[in-house]
Amino acid sequence: MSDLTRLPALFPGPLAPYGAALTTAPRPDDLPIAALLTREGLAHALDRAATEYPEGSDRRAIASLWSKTYLRGIIPAPMIAAVGGLPLDLTPSTCALRADFSALVVRRAVSGPEAIAGLYAHLSALAEGLKAASGIAPRVIWSNAANLLTATLERLAQLSPVAVGLRRDLLETPERVDGSANPLFDHIRWITPGHPDLPETVRQRRICCIRDLIPGKPLCSTCPKLTVADWLASSAGRH
């Protein structure tokens, strides 16, 4: 019996929506990730995404926003599975997407180090493919991934020390185990606003996601361009 049979049990209660976006049952019309993350595959995806934005919108910004949506499909659920003791293989050649992008199709569970290697391979293919398809700097895509990983593992760290170790290995170590530079390292900083109406610390990216290059798009909540006045205005708007 495959370890993957344990997968549904790792997403109880409030985690169920994440589990619903992860499947082990392939279909004939699934989209292979390896085909999607090519220049041609991503160019087609960005062409479709561009129809949702004002004409003439910066293609790099469209790529950044598209990557955020895509990353939400490949990061939180596999991280939950890893923390639950079932690291998944995310190597592009081994996984797929439902034709409507509703779920990630995974084929096997692997060791922790293999899972991390697969995640890096996946993110590298995404960053380089989007650079070829749009001209966006790969560091923006890595920053998008680091920001989502930080938020995900911060929450999961409250449930398991495994998440603390993953956060350290993926985000807080300047080099990977093979000695190469870690492209997920040092993308996030914690700011102390020093204002009684704001949290003691605020998570902030070091690199802007450039979404504001699209007309009408505001800065994201972790943008390095935000000021204390911006945070206060945002906080007031939530009350």
At 176-192, the pLDDT tens digits run 999 999 999 999 998 88
- pLDDT tier at 59, thresholds 50, 70, 90: very high
Can you tell me the distance from the alpha carbon of 12 to that of 233, in angstroms, rounded to the nearest whole number?
Answer: 36
Q: Does residue 10 contact residue 4 with C-beta atoms inside 8 Å? A: no
Closest CA to 37 of 82, 97, 78: 97
Provide the 10 A C-beta neighbour count for residue 114: 16
Can you tell me the distance from the alpha carbon of 91 to that of 122, in angstroms, rounded to the nearest whole number?
Answer: 6
Helix (H, G, I), strand (E, B), or coil: what is residue 51?
A: coil
> What are the respective helix, strand and coil percentages of the chain, to the nearest 5?
50, 10, 40
Closest CA to 109 of 129, 91, 127: 91
Q: Are strands 104-105 and 96-97 parallel, antiparallel or unpaired?
A: antiparallel
φ, ψ for residue 60, nearest 5 deg: -65, -40
Q: Does residue 145 contact residue 75 with C-beta atoms inside 8 Å? A: yes
Q: Does residue 192 contact residue 210 with C-beta atoms inside 8 Å? A: no
At 12-45, the pLDDT tens digits run 999 999 999 999 999 999 999 999 999 999 999 9
φ, ψ for residue 219, nearest 5 deg: -65, 150
Token pair in block for residue 8: 């549904």
Q: Does residue 83 contact residue 166 with C-beta atoms inside 8 Å? A: yes
Can you tell me the distance from the alpha carbon of 51 to that of 144, in angstroms, rounded to the nearest whole number?
Answer: 22
Q: Are strands 22-23 and 104-105 parallel, antiparallel or unpaired?
A: parallel
What does the pLDDT read at residue 126? 98
Q: Which residues pair with 205 in a beta bridge?
A: 188
What does the pLDDT read at residue 2? 61
Question: Of the ranges 41-45, 145-149, 157-161, which one carries the lowest mean pLDDT score?
Answer: 157-161
Helix (H, G, I), strand (E, B), or coil: what is residue 239?
A: coil
Query: Nearest 5 degrees, angle CA 199-CA 200-CA 206?
Result: 90
Reply yes or no on whether the pLDDT at 1 is more than 70.
no
Q: What average pLDDT does this structure show over 94-104? A: 94
Question: Of the ranges 73-77, 202-206, 209-213, which one carries the lowest mean pLDDT score?
Answer: 202-206
Token pair in block for residue 95: 């996984």
